[in-house]
A and B are shown apart, each in its own frame.
Chain A
Amino acid sequence: MIAAGISALLSHWHYRPLQLATLIVGLALATGLWTGVQAINSEARSSYDRAAAVLGQDTLKRLQSKTGLPITADRFVALRRAGWLVSPVVEGTLRLGRTRVRVMGIDVFTLPQGATSFGLSGDTGIADIVAGNDLVLVHPETAEALSKSGLNLRTSLQVVPGDLMADIPTAWTLLKRQDFDYLLLASDQPAGLAPLSEIAPDLERIEPDPQGDIARLTDSFHLNLTAFGFLSFAVGLFIVHATIGLAFEQRRTVIRTLRALGMPNRTVILLLLTETLVLALIAGLLGVVLGYGIAAALLPDVAATLAGLYGASVPGSLALRPDWILTGLAIAFGGALLAVGQGLWRIARMPLLAPAQPRAWAMASLKNSRWTAFAAAVFLLMSLTTAWFGGGLSAGFLTLGTLLLGAAMLLPALLILALRLGARTARSAIAEWVWADMRQQVPGLSLALMALMLALAANIGVSTMVASFRYTFTGWLDQRLASELYVAADNEAEAEALRAFLAERADAVLPIRTTEIEIVGLPVFLYGIADHATYRDHWPLLERGENVWDRVAAGDGALINEQLFRRGGYRLGDRLPVAPGWTEEIVGIYSDYGNPTGQVIVSHDRLMRYFPDIPKLRHAVRVAPERAEALVAALVGEFGLSPGNILNQADLKRFSLRVFDRTFLVTGALNTLTLGIAGFAMLAKLLTLSTMRLSQMAPVWAVGTTRATLARLEMLRTVALAFLTWLVALPVGLALAWVLLAIVNVEAFGWRLPMHIFPADWLWLLVLAMIAAGFAAAIPVWRLARTRPAEFLKVFAHER
């Protein structure tokens, strides 16, 4: 009996392979996109965890000088002799060729347990780094970048990419230092020691940071990705729900027969459940494979984004991790069960001899439309409230979520309203029928249309944000890169000659002097600039004090970039600790998009007084734009400067924009994928409805409308619904963009951007939406056009 039941139920798929494919593809797509996003997040997080765990920063306390000054080597020895288990660390960044690395000098003899996952006894070579041959440990990716550095490299997967680990004396040589930044405190200190407050009152204990700065900074980015993943999954679920619902409805007769033959209801449900689980397993596995593919394809761009926006180093290769594979499968099962639940519940309650009436299922949702409209209003109200009163990133995302959910739930009510209004314009019977039929179609299509609406709104919102950003960025580049040429010399002598050469030929030669400093533990670039109209007229200041340029020129004030301003929580007038014994008043804040690190600008003379050894090699050159080309030619031809040492403004801008575009490639890709899935959801839903709608078409056909006309009208209806959905999506998308720019972005990147509107993009999206809807409708319409008249006649013959 069970075997017969199985074959009866499965025969359904045998006759409807397309439906089976839709189901599996839908679930696999949903799982795939979700899994892909999770895989990316998981890869990035594990690399942050590694970074956060470097030298036990996540678990070990450390001692740091209260003044921010380095700790001397004698100090370390004195603390050890007093019995305190401390281990010294010297840290700094180093530019080796084109690669920037963080050098970490450690003392393997005193490194506390928990400071490294590898110890003296491992075979990772940490014992070797004290052997006196200046061995440094690096991640294989870093080793590749440093292959020409001349360093004695040893690769280790335990080292974070971009880090360089070495014994103290080796690190000292590289960093040109003789002291320490902090001391790690072993967690298990002996009893009975003199308290640190007595023997080292100038040192303070810093609590371990289990998360790490990078993880915190990038949190919002990953939340973004997750939100995208979830959106896709939700859209994918619509597909599954539609297909499974249809399959259940179509099998009602089979089920009725099975039960009439004596199969217990419980067995039927068990069989259907088993079928669902098997399908979910197949689709889930496919989805995980797909997700891996998506993640592997996107990860290099994500890595580029993370490096560009936050300076976070994430390897560009993907590791298979059980966490996202398992969650991928789990979500496939969860999704399938969620989709099948309603159908199973109905079958469980179905009277033994219930008539098979598929229409009832499609119509059922109509009753809910009032409730959904009410819920929508509640969500939208919530969204407004959080936007108004909320603060911080979580409030931003709550605003986003409730806005999208509310708008989606309001969609059917809005569509019906629009169609009612539209119906008033109808002047012929057929037109009236078309309007009425469209309205009648809304409940059945509402889930698919909601999915489309969400995808469209997300598209509009995100692309408005990115385009606004790009627009601002381009304008900012024009301000920031005001000089026509940027030239560098290879050595001081050449630089001297270069300045003399340019003095006669250019309008102005502005020195660019920079060095790296640390402000509250974060690397910051310190620039010294000459007083010149180039800066006074162009520099993009967001906030400024009185006579800002005069004060900077007089060496009595510093400008800081927006990133440092927001991260450090500074205000105008605060004093910034630039270097030991040097603080500077903050007199202005400038925008500095696309730069992960902080920046400080002071007067050139003041910088050179504190850091006299900064190489004087780089210059910005002002020259009339039309003479720039000639000057480049002269620099290369007459002066003999290598062309690689000259950058012109146009090239720099091009390069900057390319970096920018690459940064947002991921968002674009996810956007397109979501839209694609929404299109597929439409297709699935229309396929579901097309067979059911035969009974509505038949009378219209019977009164003389040709099948071709019916098909055309059917196509028109679908495209019109897509158009209406796009109309609703437009304000939702703009609201989304506003939330992204005004709330989420500030939290995520540390920049506030003005919103710009790009109607051309919306029209392009409309075209895409229509095409997607057209494609989705194509198969059902084609079927309708080829339906044999006998089929239409059957509707009357079977009239119940």
Chain B
Amino acid sequence: MSVRILAVLLVMIATGALAQGFAGLGTESDGFSNPEPGQALVFPDDHGPHPDFRIEWWYLTANLKGANGADFGLQWTLFRSALRPGADNGWSASQTFMAHAAVTTASRHFSTERFARGGIGQAGVAADPFSAWIDDWQMNSGAAAGEDPLAALHVTARGPDFSYDIKLTAAGPLVLHGDDGFSVKSTSGQASYYYSQPFYTVTGKINLPSGPVEVSGQAWLDREWSSQPLDPDQTGWDWLSLHFDDGSKLMGFRLRSRSEDAYTSATWIDPSGETTAYGDGVLQMTPGRAQKVANRALPIEWRLQLAERDLDITVEAINPNSWMETMVPYWEGPITVVGSHGGRGYLEMTGYE
């Protein structure tokens, strides 16, 4: 996936990052490592944290259905943000964590967030056996020995008015974006390491104020880390992950810029896990109908065209009010896909003022 909510992490970094909003992602990265092309990712090590990079996340989105066929969206995200490079133990907090959890129905959107400092055990990530946690929220590996630790996961989270407990099993391999996991974000060369596990099948339970619901469906896990993923000129992005009915998948993003045309990137994933990366301009993303959400106009409908795959689809939000009322707010919710391909997926939109 793409740049995601990097800015939120930067909130905790030095002064004024928040005042700059999402544009704060384009700040300097002194002392931190930067992604380099040609650097092979190593698993399971790279499932764990990379404290020399400023920001990182474990980002899960799921398209689920209840027993009666109702649509649900589910999000579990753990962000890591480093105040200084390197991991220290103790309260001096060189590493900080933030987590978001959400459940979306056709009419409601529940969301909540948590914060913690690293080094004291309240939040953290371990590569093998894989475990990511903050407070009582967790994403733990249930994979058998010898399997990739992310092949099976147990994920829980709890908010003031909702909670969930789901089990995930991967039906396909890990997927590397861009150039073997080196994903470029701007014409001036900003980049991140980026891989996904898009093949999860899910079963579990969601608890809502209206009562518990048994759910099942598909999920997509994104892993990304970097130190300065955006060009200072870039103001926000629109990102999608799509599960098509035929088993193939698509990741696409579009980075908006003050001075230039939007920068797009996409990865086509065959049902077998075979990937094709498409650079700037190949994927066409055109905003459609806009709706007023949280006092700003947001395109809750998009047209996507990828000529090389004969793709011409329209995606639409299942719940247009999927607004994350978190410290740094953004739009994130499940979508339906119609057109040349049918399916479901997740859409994220940030940086809309």
Contact = CB atoms under 8 A, between A and B. Distances in A.
Interface of A: 73-74, 76-77, 80-83, 85, 107-110, 120-121, 123, 125, 127-128, 130-132, 167-169, 172, 188-193
Given A82-B136, A169-B90, A131 B83 contact: yes
Given A120-B115, A190-B158, A77 B120 contact: yes
A109 B84 contact: no
A169 B93 contact: yes
A128 B15 contact: yes
Contact of A107 (B117, B158, B159): B117
Nearest to A190: B158
B121 to A, nearest CB: 5
Contacts of B293: none
A169 B136 CA distance: 24
* Closest 10 pairs between A and B when the two form their complex, measured CB to CB: A83-B136, A109-B115, A169-B91, A190-B158, A77-B121, A80-B135, A188-B160, A77-B122, A80-B122, A168-B91
Contacts of B135: 80-81, 83, 85
Contact of A128 (B14, B84, B115, B327): B14
Interface in B115-135: 115-117, 120-122, 133, 135
A121 B327 contact: yes
A121 B11 contact: yes
B77 interface: no
A120 B120 contact: no
A130 B136 contact: no
Given A81-B122, A190-B163, A109 B92 contact: no
B115 A110 contact: yes
B136 to A, nearest CB: 4
A188 B116 CA distance: 18
19 contacts: A73-B120, A74-B121, A76-B122, A77-B121, A80-B122, A81-B121, A121-B327, A127-B12, A128-B15, A130-B12, A130-B93, A131-B83, A132-B93, A168-B91, A169-B90, A188-B160, A190-B160, A190-B163, A191-B163
Question: Which of B136, B158, B163 has the most chain A CB atoms inside 10 A of its CB?
Answer: B136
Contacts of B90: 169
Given A83-B135, A83-B158, A132-B83, A109 B116 contact: yes
Contacts of B163: 190-192
B328 to A, nearest CB: 8
A127 B81 CA distance: 13
A81 B120 contact: no
Nearest to B97: A109
Interface of B is mostly: loop
A443 B336 CA distance: 92
Contacts of B115: 108-110, 120
A781 to B, nearest CB: 73
Contacts of A74: 121
Contacts of B102: none
Contacts, number: 81
Nearest to B327: A121
A125 B83 CA distance: 15
Contact of B116 (A80, A83, A120, A125): A80
A82 B159 CA distance: 13
A74 B120 CA distance: 8
Contacts of B18: 121, 127
A109 B120 contact: no
B94 interface: yes
A68 B207 CA distance: 38
A130 B96 contact: yes
A460 to B, nearest CB: 61
Nearest to B12: A127
B67 interface: no
A109 B96 contact: yes
Given A120-B11, A132-B83, A192 B158 contact: yes
Nearest to B138: A81
B19 interface: yes
Interface in B162-180: 163
A132 B207 CA distance: 39
Contacts of B161: 191
A766 B92 CA distance: 69
A110 B116 contact: yes
A83 B12 CA distance: 23
Given A80-B122, A121-B18, A190-B163, A132 B136 contact: no
Contact of A120 (B133, B158, B207, B327): B327
Interface string B273-290: 000000000000000000
Contacts of B116: 80, 109-110
B11 A132 contact: no
Contacts of A76: 122
Q: Which of A81, A132, A189 has the most CB of B within 10 A?
A: A81
Interface centre among A109, A130, A188, A192 (most CB of B within 10 A): A109
A73 B12 contact: no
A414 B94 CA distance: 81
Nearest to B92: A169
Contacts of A81: 121-122, 133, 135-136
Interface string B82-120: 011000001111101000000000000000000111001
A189 B163 CA distance: 12
A82 B93 CA distance: 21
Contacts of A82: 136
Interface string B1-13: 0000000000110
Contacts of A131: 14, 83
Contact of B159 (A110, A121, A190): A190
A673 to B, nearest CB: 50
Contacts of B84: 132
Given A81-B122, A128-B14, A192-B207, 7 more contacts: A74-B121, A80-B116, A83-B136, A110-B122, A120-B115, A121-B18, A132-B84
A167 B93 contact: yes
B213 to A, nearest CB: 15
A73 B135 CA distance: 14
B26 to A, nearest CB: 19
Contacts of B15: 125, 127-128
Contacts of B122: 76-77, 80-81, 110
Nearest to B84: A132
Nearest to A186: B160
Contacts of A128: 14-15
A183 to B, nearest CB: 13
Contacts of A85: 135
Nearest to A194: B136
B11 A172 contact: no
A480 B197 CA distance: 78
A76 B117 CA distance: 13
Contacts of B159: 190
A453 B91 CA distance: 66
A109 B158 contact: no
Contacts of B94: 132
Contacts of B93: 130, 132, 167, 169
Contacts of A108: 115
B83 A130 contact: yes
A188 B136 CA distance: 16
Contacts of B136: 80-83, 193
Contacts of A172: 91
Nearest to B16: A123
A76 B207 CA distance: 27
Contacts of A169: 90-93
A82 B136 CA distance: 6
B91 A73 contact: yes
A109 B122 CA distance: 11
Contacts of A127: 11-12, 15, 18
Contacts of A80: 116, 122, 135-136
Nearest to B93: A130
A73 B158 CA distance: 23
A782 B136 CA distance: 89
Contacts of A192: 158, 163, 207
Contacts of B11: 120-121, 127
